[in-house]
Amino acid sequence: MLVQWFRDFLKTDEAQPIRQELGLDDDALPINWITRESLALCRSDLAEHIELLDESEMQELANAIGDAQEQFYQMTVSTVLSQHFGIAEPDEDN
């Protein structure tokens, strides 16, 4: 219920500064759900452990996976743009 409220809130005009700060546009929201099946497909050796996760642990994993995907996406876009334009990657400090 809280997740749905937050999704709805992010669509409002009041949340526009938050969307900008988080780097979100109106159509892009970070991952906020995963399934036990998708986790087990990636790590079948952990299937028994995955089945024992409670909902808060699943949400925590979903958040971590979403954050990692966003970081990977940003690194990939930066690399592809640098290669396309033939320029060096920017320093991470800038």
Q: Write the DSSP assignment of 16-71 as a string of letters.
A: HHHHHHHT--TT--------HHHHHHH-GGGHHHHHT--HHHHHHHHHHHHHHHHH
Q: State the total domains in the chain.
A: 1
The answer to whether residue 38 sits within a structural domain is yes
Q: What is the pTM of this model?
A: 0.59
The answer to whether residue 28 sits within a structural domain is yes
Task: Give pLDDT tens digits for 70-82.
Answer: 899 889 989 999 9
The answer to whether residue 93 sits within a structural domain is no
Place of tokens 């024992």: 52
pLDDT at 31: 59
The answer to whether residue 46 sits within a structural domain is yes
Percent with pLDDT over 90 in the chain: 44
Look at residue 83 and tell me whether its pLDDT is greater than 60: yes
Q: Which domain holds residue 81?
A: 2-85
The answer to whether residue 29 sits within a structural domain is yes
